[in-house]
Amino acid sequence: MRALAKLERNPGLTLVERPVPEPGPGEILVRVEAASICGTDLHIWRWDAWAQGRIRPPLVLGHEFSGVVEAVGPGVKRPKVGDRVSLESHVVCHACPACRVGHYHVCLNTEILGVDRDGGFAEYVVVPAENAWVHPEGFPFEVAAILEPFGNAVHTVYAGSGVSGKSVLITGAGPIGLMAAMVARASGAGPILVSDPNPYRLGFARPYADRLVNPLEEDLLEVVRRVTGSGVEVLLEFSGNEAAIHQGLRALIPGGEARVLGIPSDPIRFDLAGELVMRGITAYGIAGRRLWQTWMQGTALVYSGRVDLTPLITHRLPLSRYQEAFTLLEKGQGVKIILDPKA
């Protein structure tokens, strides 16, 4: 089979030939039909400081993918051969303190597909059977492939007291920020403001936002106060940008909630007393998806038609054109790019 792998500790990836793996006890073999490139994959492609400290080549990339169950290992009762599946990317231990109290999304021993073990940028991949989410017959593979990052957005929007009937500021209009705007709109939030310096990506938020803000052209805090009168009740932070994080916190009304998924590339400084404590702000760190509550919430939104993710799929390319796909994302000229491992 063909696979896209990081073979050496330097920038770039390589298209390689590998034997088709065989599922062991508790595992399934998935024939990959669609795979999506994530920002994490871009870090590995660039071979930046994070990738150098985390990735151990050789490794097949890809943690956002879907396909069909081709074979099952001993002891597997579900899913069945022929099922259409998305894959939860976090492989958890079930034994650490976090897992024992049901917080699988912050398992102390998590292994991530395509980061810590071989992932889905391949024609076939072996994964734990418990990581499969089975879809109805006919559910589109390309949509199924992006339900994993969609889960990050759902987890962020639904954390704390939710967003229904609340004013929301979304900082960062990358794929997950755009998905969060969709979920917030479907969940009755308003007004919704979305901020991002990239006009291309910001434009994708237009159908779901009451106000778009390019912070390079407008004063974000001034716009927030003009739209809301005082500030927003909920901050959904996806940018990982230090300036955006400070602006987002200052945009909150006293007693507001900050839900932070974006990860800065370096440690940042902030005024703990002035930005958080004395204003009674509740801050949530968002990691992954709650297993399996978030999958239930997210697929309910998609299956019902309340959220349509297809507008965010900007490109569909064969795996052999991976360099073009990564270049598009590096230039900020794509949102979700789907790779076809068979082409």
Which fold is adopted by the domain 2-146+309-340?
Answer: Quinone Oxidoreductase; Chain A, domain 1 (3.90.180)
**DSSP, residue by residue, 128-177:** EGGGEEEE-TT--HHHHHTHHHHHHHHHHHHSTT--TT--EEEE--SHHH
- Count the Cβ atoms, other than its own, within 10 Å of residue 115: 23
Least confident of 34-38, 45-49, 225-229: 45-49
DSSP class of residue 89 equals: S
Q: What is the predicted pLDDT for the residue at 18? A: 96
Would you say how long the chain is, in residues?
343
- CA distances for 29 relative to 59, 85, 122, 324, 343, angstroms: 18, 11, 12, 28, 19
65 pLDDT more than 90: yes
Q: Is 43 labeled as catalytic in the residue annotation?
A: yes
343 pLDDT more than 90: no
163 by Cβ neighbours in 10 Å (0-12 / 13-18 / 19+) ranks as buried
Rounded-to-integer distance, Cα 18 and Cα 32, Å: 14
For 137-159, how does the pLDDT look when each residue is reduced to its tens digit (9 = 90+)?
Answer: 999 999 999 999 999 999 999 99
Q: What is the predicted pLDDT for the residue at 253? A: 98
Statement: the pTM of the whole predicted model exceeds 0.75: yes
68 pLDDT more than 90: yes
Q: Which of 258, 36, 304 is nearest to 148 (CA)?
A: 36
At 223, the amino acid letter reads V
Q: Where are the domains of the chain?
A: 2-146+309-340, 156-285
pLDDT band at residue 278 using 50, 70 and 90 as cut-offs: very high
Find out whether 265 and 244 touch, Cβ atoms under 8 Å: no
**Which two structure tokens, joined as six digits, stand for 23?**
């599922």
pLDDT band at residue 265 using 50, 70 and 90 as cut-offs: confident
266 pLDDT more than 90: no
Q: Compute the C-alpha angle 151/94/42, nearest 5°.
A: 40
Q: Is 282 labeled as catalytic in the residue annotation?
A: no
Residue whose entry in the numeric block shows the structure tokens 């339900």: 147
Rounded-to-integer distance, Cα 176 and Cα 262, Å: 10
Residue in 43, 90, 105, 155 annotated catalytic: 43
For 8-24, how does the pLDDT look when each residue is reduced to its tens digit (9 = 90+)?
Answer: 999 999 999 999 999 99
- CA distances for 286 relative to 39, 62, 187, 218, 263, angstroms: 16, 21, 19, 28, 10
Calculate mean pLDDT across residues 164-183.
98
Rounded-to-integer distance, Cα 11 and Cα 147, Å: 28
Rounded-to-integer distance, Cα 73 and Cα 23, Å: 5
E strand or H helix that includes residue 178: helix 175-186
At 132, the amino acid letter reads A
For 156-285, CATH number out of 3.40.50.720, 3.30.565.10, 3.90.79.10, 1.10.30.50 equals 3.40.50.720
Q: What is the predicted pLDDT for the residue at 155? A: 98
Rounded-to-integer distance, Cα 209 and Cα 188, Å: 12
Residue in 40, 156, 228, 299 annotated catalytic: 40
